[in-house]
Amino acid sequence: MNKTILYLWFLLQFIIAGTITAQDNLSALLPMPLKAEQRDGRSFELNNVGEIECQMSDSLFIINELTNIVKYRTDIELPVKGGNKIIIKEESSALPESYKIDISKKRITIEGSRSGIYYALKTFDQILLGDVTNTTNGKVAQIYIEDAPRYTHRAVMLDPARHFLPIEDIKFFIDQIAKYKYNILQLHLTDDQGWRIEIKSHPALTNIGAFRNPNGGNKGPDNGYYTQKQLKELVNYAAARNIEIIPELDIPGHSVAILAAYPHLGCSFRQNEKKEVGHTTNMMICAHSEEAYCVYEDIIREVAQIFPSKFIHLGGDEAAVNENWAKCDDCKAMMKKAGYAKPSDLMNIFFGRMLDIVHKNNKKAILWCELDNMWPPANNYLFPYPKDVTLVTWRNALTPKCIELTRINGHNLIMAPGEHTYLDYPQWHNDLPEFNNWGMPITTIEQTYKLDPSYNLPAEEQQHIQGVMATMWAEAIKDINRVNYMFFPRGLAIAEAGWSIMQQRSWEGFKKRLMPNLNDLMRSGVSFRVPFEISPRR
């Protein structure tokens, strides 16, 4: 009798342990991998790891990441002693960013491309984060994961033009987004409110353009710029974490900072107007200004040398054509000569020349997809963007049209639809940002999660979609804590939209997997917003 009870007790323990680990191993995986399964059998013991075998070009960095993860989660300093082994193998034939993790009783094998291995470590970290019972005992359940991203372009855009972010804060942010397998950071470096990048051939750009508040010092939030040296270092810092930095210089609108430094690059009829960084608005670079093309020749050359990315983003959004080119005699004459019907058609010439400069520097351009200013009405339009331009869809409600037109005209497209990815929009009623003077709609985390970057289109109509971008516009976001408050946790929903296939995604699953990650973000000192509205108890 006693024996039977004892047997049943053991059986019960076994079942409980089994169900707990079965749930827990996946409970913090975010974004959800392509394939993740738990196997039966005894756990791998980190306390018995005698060897880490790693042959890669940057083994030191990778081993350091791994040992830091294990120390942070379990307090164990690897390697210890014993027969267990961790093997990390870089596979030249593996698809970019793909990886496999195979955890058995005595061996953990991690394989993949360099970037894949980096992501494998991030996934391994989340396995330890989620499997609390095992982790506190220095154990890892037997798990097999095969993973690869749905999209190649998984971006976050930061906007230090509106409010300057010190380099150290950007590094902190990079560390956080790397956990969720973002691979691109777009920096919006110029706008009406500031010019944030040192250009050695034109120092006035920063001497004047980087200072919105002349009495405010040079550490932000209104003032400040990055030196080329700092940016090169940032590029390397990001690259080690598989993040590519894409610079954005916004032209021909959003350009008061450069016009404050060089007023003659604007249309001549506005020459006598005072141009104050961040105070004057609606000004544009003149399509007729030869000097503007010359100055941008220098700027783009220097920018191309700082950032190894093949892309430079040149903005192209919200150009106030009617207040500038439409009233400018030089532009009107240009229009007439080219046989154009409307001043916005001058974008063809303007971007034609700017893109020549981009190409000369062996780069490709990205532009915001503008259907208002650059879109001739009705059916008989010529889509005005040169073919090799990648476009970003953003305006609320215009995304379906953007997807269709970019497909028909052979452009690559990145998805940043305002309805889901505009993270400057408030997350809840009466929540931040307190400065919401353009009446931005509430964008809840659930609304953000609803993004399917393919817009559920048939396969043949979405081949040109390259990925997603979360945009963190910062007119009202003054420092990194505010950035983090607006970005987290919604940025995790967009990370999953960019990485995971739809079959692996579900709102209910995401909410559960979010909780341990919020706990972890708190431990990392990230000032995220508590999404109280999705609590099961409310």
Q: Which residues bind ligand TNX (CB under 6 A)?
A: 317-318, 368, 394, 422, 424, 473, 475
- Hey, which residues does 187 pair with through a beta bridge? 158, 247
Among 185, 191, 192, 189, smallest CA distance to 170 is for 185
Q: What is the DSSP string of 353-366?
A: HHHHHHHHTT-EEE
Q: Which is nearer to ligand TNX, 130 or 418 (CB)?
A: 418
Provide the minimum distance between the beta carbon of 353 and ligand TNX in the complex, in angstroms, as a whole number. 21
Which burial class, exposed, middle or buried, applies to 332 when counting CB atoms under 10 A from its CB (0-12, 13-18, 19+)?
middle
Instruction: Count Cβ neighbours within 10 Å for each residue of 151-171 and write b for 16 or more, e otherwise.
Output: bebbbbbbbbbbbbbbbebbe
Active site annotation includes 273: no
Q: Which of 153, 163, 188, 254 is catalytic?
A: 254
Min dist. Cβ of residue 369 to ligand TNX (A): 9
Q: For ligand TNX, give the closer residue by CB, 49 or 158.
A: 158
Q: Please give the C-alpha separations between residue 80 and each of 50, 108, 329, in angstroms, as whole numbers.
A: 5, 15, 77
Q: Which of 175, 318, 330, 479 is catalytic?
A: 318
Q: Which of 169, 151, 172 is nearest to 160 (CA)?
A: 169
Q: In whole angstroms, how close is the CB of 473 to ligand TNX at the nearest point?
A: 3
Least distance (Å) from ligand TNX to the CB of residue 394? Answer: 5
Unique residue bearing structure tokens 């400069």: 357
**Minimum distance of ligand TNX from residue 405's CB (angstroms):** 17
The 84-90 sheet, strands edge to edge:
35-38, 143-147, 99-103, 107-112, 84-90, 49-55
Active site residue 191: yes
d(CA 306, CA 300): 10
At its nearest, how many Å lie between ligand TNX and the CB of residue 31? Answer: 24
C-alpha pair distances (Å), 420 with each of 359, 441, 481: 32, 10, 21
In the bound state with ligand TNX, the residue whose beta carbon lies nearer, of 368 and 449, is 368
Omega within 30 of 0 (cis) for the link into 433: yes
Radius of gyration of the chain, Cα coordinates, nearest whole angstrom:
26
| Least distance between ligand TNX and beta carbon 388 (Å) | 20
Least distance (Å) between residue 317 CB and ligand TNX: 3
Question: Of 114 and 313, which CB lies nearer to ligand TNX in the complex structure?
Answer: 313
Closer of 149 and 417 to ligand TNX (Cβ): 417
Measured from the CB atom, the residue of 25 and 324 that comes closer to ligand TNX is: 324
Q: Identify the three-state secondary structure at position 521.
A: helix
Q: How far apart are CA 175 and CA 338, in angstroms?
A: 49
Q: At a CB cut-off of 8 Å and minimum separation 6, what does 11 contact?
A: none
Annotate 56-90 with b (16+ C-beta within 10 A) or e (fewer): eeeeeebbebbbebbeebbeeebbeeeebbbebeb
Pairing of strands 143-147, 35-38: antiparallel
CB 191, min distance to ligand TNX, A: 7
Residue of 97, 131, 191, 424 marked catalytic = 191
- 119/368 with CB nearer ligand TNX: 368
Q: List the Cα angle 334/255/284 in 5-degree steps.
A: 25
Backbone phi, psi, residue 12, to 5°: -60, -45
Q: CB neighbours of 281 closer than 8 A, spacing ≥ 6?
A: 192, 256
Q: Would you please indicate which residues are annotated as catalytic (active-site) residues?
A: 191, 254, 318
